[in-house]
């Protein structure tokens, strides 16, 4: 096989369709679609859980592709389209059906801001993937924004708080999440965390405690975690600004 044939074979491999990672992507897409269907049936707790499941599956498909060397252009495009449904359309429709419908045009306007911001966030991520610092995301990642919305709906539903009674809070949260996605705020990506290197025993113990902590009250803990992560971008931005303008002694 000559050099031209080798390059051609590599390009075909990159453009190929691999089953394993795309199964996880399809699972995430199904979870997002399921969240929409359950919201239409007023089963908002099921919708929130489905969005969190989509987030987990979305985090696995890329890692599986890298570990099995099955990365492809098709997989990258498919993953982006799946993200738009699961973390853009689904959360916006869930929060609209749960709380924003009673606000009339202001309700769907807030939901659309979130949905459009997700599309813009994904488009920017796809075009800047080889430019930005790998350690940080530019703007709030769409899965984290979706988890913030889903966690809020789940917590309020678990406490039997109706969406109509707090629709303005839901609208503000949706707009806040959307604007955070299209902002230039830095968010730690955790991509420099090496899962394959050895760790001390205490790290495994702390990981077990972390899962126990989440299982103690999943709605509240997950919402709290993603709210803190969302605010971390603002804190990091302020810290960088103050450090940049600090006078040199």
pLDDT at 12 over 70: no
Question: Which pLDDT score is estimated for 9?
Answer: 40
Residues 6+ away with beta carbon under 8 Å from 72: 13, 14, 15, 16, 17, 18, 65
Question: Which pLDDT score is estimated for 71?
Answer: 81
CA distance 108 to 111: 5
Percentage above 90 pLDDT, the chain: 62
CA distance 226 to 228: 5
Across residues 196-214, what is the average pLDDT?
80
pLDDT digits (tens, 9 = 90+) for 42-66: 999 999 999 999 999 998 888 887 7
**Please, which residues bridge with residue 188 across strands?**
136
Token couple for 54: 């989509």
pLDDT at 72 over 90: no
In a 10 Å sphere around its CB, with 0-12 CB exposed, 13-18 middle and 19+ buried, how is residue 247 labelled? exposed
- Residue pair 170/99 in contact by the 8 Å Cβ criterion: yes
Q: Which of 81, 173, 177 is nearest to 123 (CA)?
A: 81
- Residue pair 236/185 in contact by the 8 Å Cβ criterion: yes
Percentage above 70 pLDDT, the chain: 86
pLDDT at 249 over 90: no
Measured in whole angstroms, the distance separating CA 87 from the mean position of its chain's CA atoms is: 6
Of how many residues is the chain composed? 249
Across residues 11-25, what is the average pLDDT?
70
Local confidence band at 111 (pLDDT 50, 70, 90 cut-offs):
very high
Question: Which pLDDT score is estimated for 206?
Answer: 83
Q: Where are the alpha helices (DSSP H) in 96-141?
A: 105-127
Sign of CA dihedral 152, 158, 161, 163: positive
pLDDT digits (tens, 9 = 90+) for 118-176: 999 999 988 887 666 778 899 999 999 999 999 999 999 999 999 999 999 999 999 99
Across residues 21-50, what is the average pLDDT?
95
Question: Which pLDDT score is estimated for 199?
Answer: 66
pLDDT at 231 over 90: yes
Across residues 70-85, what is the average pLDDT?
89
Give the start-to-end residue ranges of the domains of the chain. Answer: 3-244
Question: Which pLDDT score is estimated for 170?
Answer: 96
For the ranges 106-120, 197-211, 212-226, the lowest mean pLDDT is seen at 197-211
Q: Which of 118, 100, 97 is nearest to 109 (CA)?
A: 100
Question: Which pLDDT score is estimated for 7?
Answer: 44
Taking the CB of residue 30, how many other CB atoms lie within 10 A of it? 17
CATH superfamily entry for domain 3-244: CDP-alcohol phosphotransferase transmembrane (TM) domain (1.20.120.1760)
Q: Which of 231, 139, 127, 240 is nearest to 184 (CA)?
A: 139
DSSP character at residue 163: G
CA distance 52 to 71: 24
Question: Which pLDDT score is estimated for 70?
Answer: 79
Token couple for 172: 């503000």
**Average model confidence (pLDDT) for the chain?**
87
pLDDT at 196 over 80: no
pLDDT at 92 over 80: yes
Residues 6+ away with beta carbon under 8 Å from 95: 111, 114, 149, 152, 153, 163, 170, 173, 174
């Amino acid at each position: 096989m000559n050099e031209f044939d080798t390059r051609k074979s590599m390009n075909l491999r990159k453009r190929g369709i691999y089953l394993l990672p795309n199964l996880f992507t399809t699972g995430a897409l199904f979870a997002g679609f399921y969240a929409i269907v359950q919201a239409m049936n007023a089963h908002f707790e099921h919708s929130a859980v489905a969005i969190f499941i989509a987030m987990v599956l979305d985090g696995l498909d890329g890692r599986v592709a890298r570990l099995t060397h099955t990365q492809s252009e098709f997989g990258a495009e498919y993953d982006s389209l799946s993200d738009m449904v699961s973390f853009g359309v689904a959360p916006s429709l869930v929060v609209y059906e749960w709380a924003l419908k009673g606000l009339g045009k202001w309700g769907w306007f807030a939901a659309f801001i979130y949905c459009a911001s997700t599309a813009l966030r994904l488009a920017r991520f796809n075009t800047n993937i080889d430019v930005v610092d790998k350690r940080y995301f530019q703007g709030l990642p769409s899965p984290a924004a979706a988890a913030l919305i889903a966690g809020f709906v789940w917590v309020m539903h678990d406490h039997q708080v109706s969406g109509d009674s707090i629709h303005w809070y839901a609208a503000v949260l949706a707009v806040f999440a959307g604007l955070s996605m299209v902002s230039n705020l830095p968010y730690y990506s955790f991509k420099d965390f090496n899962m394959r290197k050895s760790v001390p025993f205490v790290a495994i113990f702390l990981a077990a405690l972390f899962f126990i902590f989440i299982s103690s009250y999943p709605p509240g803990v997950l919402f709290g975690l993603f709210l803190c992560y969302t605010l971390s971008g603002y804190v990091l931005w302020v810290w960088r600004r103050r450090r940049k303008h600090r006078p040199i002694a």
